[in-house]
């Protein structure tokens, strides 16, 4: 009997976020031909992705891209592109366009240039957060974190070598997140909630999520204790 993966069902917060994302995309598309939706990876977005895929939106007018990506092939188990193709680009969302961040390149410079070359500022950016206070791939202690948090940079993306997490990353910069049309942050669990409260109370590079949200005063936060 093949193992059937059981994914957590969407809780009330996830369903509320799903409704908010759907309504926001609908509103955006009322005023323009296409919308760019940037989503984060990790494990917690899976219930949201699976709920969004069941939303009867004009997905053919939506381009899905990534807030950040691990620099691994798209069939690698840690690939965010693989995560999105598996859980979001199904059901109604099959007709959405997908724009990956990681494309095979000979050098790091070519890699980031290629990603920037096809990049569009998202109309809606969905962020997650780690218990270390990172968001996107803006990790505390990363050598390129100061550049990633530079509020004045025109760069939309940068390379990050996380001090502890696996894989080199491509990530949106804080400034590009702030240039997004709208920003939603979704977190789950008391530990993350405590970190977020700390980060909001005392913005510092030690808690990159706080520095990012300081640039997005209209960001909406969806937090559940479960």
Ligand X SMILES: O=C(O)[C@H](O)[C@@H](O)[C@H](O)[C@H](O)COP(=O)(O)O
Least distance to ligand X, CB of residue 128, Å: 2
Question: Binding of ligand X at residue 65 (CB under 6 A)?
Answer: no
Least distance to ligand X, CB of residue 64, Å: 14
CA 211 to chain centre: 16
Closest to ligand X by CB, 123 vs 192, is 192
CA 197 to chain centre: 20
Number of H helices, E strands in the chain: 8, 9
Least distance to ligand X, CB of residue 129, Å: 6
Closest to ligand X by CB, 171 vs 182, is 171
Give dist(CA 37, CA 168) in Å, integer. 23
Site string for ligand X, 77-106 (x = CB under 6 A): ---x--------------------------
Among 8, 23, 32, 43, binds ligand X (CB under 6 A): 43
Whether the CB-CB separation of 53 and 142 falls below 8 Å is answered with no
Site string for ligand X, 102-141 (x = CB under 6 A): --------------------------xxx----xx-----
Which phi and psi angles does 216 have, rounded to 5°? -130, 70
Beta strands in the chain (DSSP E): 35-39, 62-66, 68-70, 97-99, 124-127, 157-160, 169-172, 182-188, 220-224
Site string for ligand X, 23-42 (x = CB under 6 A): -----------------xxx
Least distance to ligand X, CB of residue 169, Å: 7
Q: Which of helix, strand or coil describes residue 69?
A: strand
Q: Nearest Cα to 181, choosing from 96, 102, 120?
A: 120
What is the contact surface with ligand X in residues (CB under 6 A)?
40-44, 67-68, 80, 128-130, 135-136
């Amino acid at each position: 009997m093949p193992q059937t993966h059981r994914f957590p069902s969407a809780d009330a917060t996830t369903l509320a976020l799903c409704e908010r994302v759907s309504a926001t995309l609908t509103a955006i598309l009322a005023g323009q031909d296409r919308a760019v939706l940037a989503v984060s990876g990790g494990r917690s977005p899976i219930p949201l992705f699976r709920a969004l895929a069941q939303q009867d939106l004009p997905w053919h007018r939506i381009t899905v891209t990534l807030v950040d990506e691990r620099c691994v092939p798209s069939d690698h188990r840690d690939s965010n592109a693989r995560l999105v193709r598996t859980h979001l680009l199904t059901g109604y969302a099959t007709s959405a366009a997908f724009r990956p961040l990681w494309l095979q390149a000979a050098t790091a410079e070519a890699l980031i240039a290629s990603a920037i070359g096809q990049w569009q500022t998202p109309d809606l950016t969905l962020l997650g957060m780690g218990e270390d206070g990172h968001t996107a791939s803006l990790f505390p202690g990363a050598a390129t974190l100061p550049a990633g948090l530079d509020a004045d940079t025109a760069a939309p993306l940068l390379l990050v070598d996380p001090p502890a997490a696996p894989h080199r990353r491509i990530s949106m910069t804080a400034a590009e997140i702030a240039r997004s049309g709208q920003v939603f942050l979704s977190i789950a669990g008391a530990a993350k909630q405590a970190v977020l409260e700390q980060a909001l109370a005392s913005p510092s590079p030690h808690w990159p999520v706080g520095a990012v949200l300081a640039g997005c005063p209209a960001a909406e936060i969806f937090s559940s204790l479960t």
